[in-house]
Structure 1
Amino acid sequence: MTPEFIVGFARQSIELTLFISLPMLGVGLIVGVFVSVIQAATQLQEMTLSIIPKIISIFLVLLVSFPWIMDKMITFTRDLLLNLPNYIH
């Protein structure tokens, strides 16, 4: 294994992780901004009003996108295991 391979593999792994987490993080950001605007407009500064909607929305997005996430993870793992003999050289 060369240093270039290790860096490339680490980059590919990090990119996949970020790509998979993007839907949940994006929805969490949008819901968080929306709730913050409502809290600022109504001057309600209760922490549960900001955390509960984010948790529920992120969980719903996770449920909806779970098949896509599993497909990406299975493809990455399958490619890794199929090319393992090439990586050992």
Structure 2
Amino acid sequence: MSPEMVITIVQRAFEVMILLGGPMLLAGLLVGLMISVFQAATQINEATLSFIPKLLVTFLVAVLAGPWMLETIMDYTIRLYQSIPSMVG
């Protein structure tokens, strides 16, 4: 296995990781930003106020994007396993 193959595998793994984690993180970030603006406008400084909405939105995105995420990780895994013979030989 050449160093180029290893770099390609790791690069693809990072791409898949960003694709899978990105939607949930982005949704949590946007909800957190909106709640922070609301807290700043109303001067409510309660740390737990932002936790539940972020948790719910992250769960909702995971449920809605779950089939796509499962398909993406399965596709990556199948391609990785299918490329093993060409890496070894």
Same fold (TM over 0.5): yes
TM, length-normalised to structure 1: 0.96
Tell me the CA shift for residue 80 of structure 1. Answer: 1.0
Quick one: distance in 1 between partners of 2:54 and 2:73? Answer: 25
2:5 is aligned with 1:14: no
> What residue in structure 2 maps to residue 57 of structure 1?
57
- Structure 1: give runs of 5+ residues left out of the alignment: none
What percentage of aligned pairs have identical amino acids? 37
Quick one: distance in 2 between partners of 1:59 and 1:44? Answer: 25
Equivalent pairs, count = 89
TM, length-normalised to structure 2: 0.96
Tell me the CA shift for residue 51 of structure 1. Answer: 1.1
- Structure 2: give runs of 5+ residues left out of the alignment: none
Tell me the CA shift for residue 12 of structure 1. Answer: 0.6
2:33 is aligned with 1:42: no
> What residue in structure 1 maps to residue 26 of structure 2?
26
Quick one: distance in 1 between partners of 2:39 and 2:74? Answer: 41
Tell me the CA shift for residue 81 of structure 1. Answer: 1.2
Instruction: Tell me which stretches of 4 or more aligned residues in structure 1 moved more than 3 Å.
Output: none
Counterpart amino acid of residue 33 in structure 1: L
Q: Over aligned residue pairs, what C-alpha RMSD do you find? A: 0.7
